[in-house]
A = this chain, B = another copy of it.
Amino acid sequence: MLFHVRMHVNLPHDLPASEAEAIIAKEKAYSQELQRIGKWRHIWRIAGEYANYSVFDVKDNAELHEVLSGLPLFKFMKIEVSPLLRHPSSIREDDS
């Protein structure tokens, strides 16, 4: 089941650089593992912002929350979720 997610990161300016780097490295590893197993289907950077649009493919709402609340940057993010479904005009089988 697909979900559209917008994540916007807002790191406090007084967070020590080393701490920020460590979290960001963990975030990258976490994201790539979820991509490899197919749960984080797409991720794009939004030009000019510390933000991304993503599409998740999870089995239900509970798994979506587990994945998102486990993000190392979770407490510094504003997250917006929209449930998606196959569009009646879509010709692409894997967008559902």
Contact = CB atoms under 8 A, between A and B. Distances in A.
Contacts of A69: 48, 50
A39 to B, nearest CB: 12
Interface string A54-92: 010000111011001100000110011111111111111
Main SS at interface, chain A:
mixed
Task: Count identical subunits in the complex.
Answer: 10
20 contacts: A2-B61, A4-B44, A5-B48, A11-B75, A13-B15, A35-B90, A44-B87, A45-B65, A45-B85, A45-B86, A47-B64, A47-B83, A48-B69, A52-B87, A61-B85, A62-B85, A62-B86, A64-B83, A65-B85, A81-B83
Interface of A: 1-5, 11-15, 27-28, 31-32, 35-36, 42-50, 52-53, 55, 60-62, 64-65, 68-69, 75-76, 79-92, 95
